[in-house]
């Protein structure tokens, strides 16, 4: 089992920045990739960014050049640095860990971009 705890969400003005954190605990040695997903009201959950164990990264077209995913292995934490935020980035952001024995989700953190 893997436990994930997201933090760092909040209210920010358009053009602002936030850094989300996803702290992992439990059987973390089995993690092969960690992704950030988001779900806006009335919309399907979508993948925003993912980092693998290699590590390689991949981003949704809508956030390329604005968001950066990174990790700190010593802290067992994955970060999502979000710059130049737009109102359409408003959503609940979820962390997901893919392992050799299944996937695990965090509880989510709300990001609201509004003036």
Handedness of CA 44, 39, 55, 100 (dihedral sign): negative
Query: Whole-angstrom Cα distance, residue 111 to residue 102?
Result: 27
The pLDDT tens digits along the chain (115 residues) read: 999 999 999 999 999 999 999 999 998 888 999 999 999 999 999 999 999 988 899 999 999 999 999 999 999 999 999 999 999 999 999 999 999 889 999 999 999 999 9
Q: How far is CA 89 from CA 26, 39, 86, in A?
A: 30, 9, 5
Give the pLDDT confidence of 47-65 residue by residue, as tens digits: 999 999 888 999 999 999 9
């Amino acid at each position: 089992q893997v436990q994930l705890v997201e933090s760092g969400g909040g209210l920010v003005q358009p053009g602002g920045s936030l850094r989300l954190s996803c702290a992992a605990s439990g059987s973390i040695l089995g993690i092969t990739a960690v992704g950030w997903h988001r779900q806006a009201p009335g919309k399907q959950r979508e993948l925003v960014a993912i980092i693998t164990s290699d590590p390689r990264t991949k981003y949704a077209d809508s956030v390329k050049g604005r968001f950066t995913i990174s990790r700190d292995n010593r802290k067992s934490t994955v970060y999502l640095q979000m710059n130049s935020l737009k109102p359409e980035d408003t959503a609940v952001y979820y962390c997901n860990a893919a392992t050799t024995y299944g996937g695990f989700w965090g509880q989510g953190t709300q990001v609201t971009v509004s003036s």
